[in-house]
Amino acid sequence: MEATNVYSMPRIGDSAPEFQAVTTQGTIHFPSDYKGKWKILFSHPADFTPVCTSEFMTFGKMAEEFEALNCQLVGLSVDGLHSHIAWLRTIKEKIDWKGWKNVEIKFPLVVDITMEVASLYGMIQPGESNTSAVRAVFFIDPQDKIRTIMYYPLSLGRNFDEIKRVLVGLQTVDNFGVALPADWRPGDEVIVPPAGSCGVAKERMEGAESDLHCYDWFFCTKQISKEEVESRLGKK
């Protein structure tokens, strides 16, 4: 019986699985080519499909915003190189959507006809499709660790405001050593680490740390201004 490769899906905290691949921007070695940068590796089901076209146009329009956050975008589908090139040319030359036109995709789009990379990253979900990758999004930090994973089905386009919010949030967590509450945006209160002793918890509840707002001993926040958050985004 012919042996088949069996992959376990990567998890948050794992090192990003390594691969070499042909892309629309030449051969890449991922993630080592982008050491020191944040990476967003995302998959799409197929070229020349409407939901994917809308997503690539959105990524293309936001590419400079991600670049300013020291983040490299890398796309992937199980189509071939010529299909990728023809589709990206069609997007640039023919598609006018939401008033966007002449959108040029400059980040690499991985060729994965064998589905090896998609399998390596758990992007093939048999219950959804055996032959197309779902809409997976991997956030990978400058040390090449996976920090967040999102999965969307074939029929639902991604929320790009949330993709950027997650990237900004992860950088803020690292920059300030804090956690972030539900629906956090730059300028909102952040959560400070829980008290490490009964004495510290008591002092916090009694207002000894004037910059904190404590809802209870385990739940204290402080204010970090939007300007301070944004001044440190994208820094290595």
**Catalytic positions:** 52
**Is 135 assigned to a binding site?**
yes
Instruction: Please name the residues in contact with 86: beta carbons below 8 A apart, sequence gap of 6 or more.
Output: 47, 48
Residue of 151, 198, 166 whose CA lies nearest to 9: 151
* Binding-site residue positions for substrate: 135
* Binding-site residue positions: 135
